[in-house]
Amino acid sequence: MTRPLIGTSWKMNLTSVEAERWFATVVPGVERLDDRDLFVLPPFTSLWVARDCLTGSAIAWGAQDVHPDDGGAHTGDVSAPMLADLGCRYVEVGHSERRRDHGETPALIAAKVAAVLRWGMDVILCTGELEPGPFETVADGLRLDLERCLAGVPAAELGRVVVAYEPAWAIGEGAFAASPEHVGRIQRDLAAWLSERSGGSPVRVLYGGSVEEAAAADLLAESGVDGLFIGRNALDAERFVRIARTPSQHDDPTP
């Protein structure tokens, strides 16, 4: 049985003051939720708020990006040791918006993955197709992307990687989540590929494309969906609490 992992990236939203208010609602709202793991990825400017508000709680925190080098003349960038110093547990890499807006390649993403692991944090690696397509075409493309982005990661380290399946066509305002059946089929395929690569150790695969409150239960009930990675729908703290508390029923029944 895999504990569901449910979290959110705020992207470029919420100031430090707004972040403090968000935490003040969410921390007590999930206080008794002990059958799953939770995380939040605020902007860099609010990581210190997350540390101060979440230390001692059940909610982990982390960052939305990282530079592959540990230091140097990289104006405006943030390194893995800086994030580790702020108590980050997770670091997100490879989001489709980073690939689109900043031209990030699988090779660069692989270097970022290595930096995160090198500094003792866990990776949330995003992957997803740009447009809907036939299952085999989509699955082949995702496996190839993961192979490139995980280049150099030994099998023993794959347990520290969380894969977030985020089809680009299902991200953004006005977009809709993929069907649970599609998500489950894709994620079971990715989980099998990752398990083979890791020597049988489970690797969590989350879904994160326009996760609505109404769809959360159906997504979590789908075999292969190990959790949810929520975007804009988690900016409302009370809504995030409701999604985080969604029952998980995706484990296979006992024969």
- Count CB atoms within 10 A of the CB of residue 138: 20
Annotated catalytic residue 102: no
Which residue in the list 92, 104, 129, 166 is annotated as catalytic? 166
Q: Return the percentage of the chain with pLDDT > 90, whole number.
A: 86
Structural domain count, the chain? 1
In a domain, 214, yes or no: yes
Give per-residue pLDDT as tens, 166-206.
999 988 777 777 899 999 999 999 999 999 999 988 899 99
In a domain, 230, yes or no: yes
How far apart CA 189 and CA 66 sit, in angstroms, is: 28
Annotated catalytic residue 95: yes
How far apart CA 69 and CA 92 sit, in angstroms, is: 16
Handedness of CA 33, 34, 35, 36 (dihedral sign): positive
Give the residue among 52, 73, 79, 76 at the shortest CA–CA distance from 63. 79
In a domain, 94, yes or no: yes
Give per-residue pLDDT as tens, 63-91.
999 999 999 999 999 999 999 999 999 99
pTM (predicted TM-score): 0.94
Which residue in the list 67, 92, 95, 104 is annotated as catalytic? 95
Determine the structural domain holding residue 181 and report its residue range: 5-244
How far apart CA 164 and CA 99 sit, in angstroms, is: 15
Six-digit token string for 225: 């969906």
N-term to C-term CA, the chain: 14
In a domain, 62, yes or no: yes
Q: Exposed, middle or buried: residue 152 (CB in 10 Å: 0-12, 13-18, 19+)?
A: exposed
Determine contact, residues 190/119, Cβ cutoff 8 Å: no
Residue 132: alpha-carbon gap to chain centroid: 21
In a domain, 201, yes or no: yes
In this prediction, residue 249 has a pLDDT band, given cuts at 50, 70 and 90, of low
CATH number of the structural domain spanning residue 119: 3.20.20.70
In a domain, 252, yes or no: no
In a domain, 88, yes or no: yes
In a domain, 28, yes or no: yes
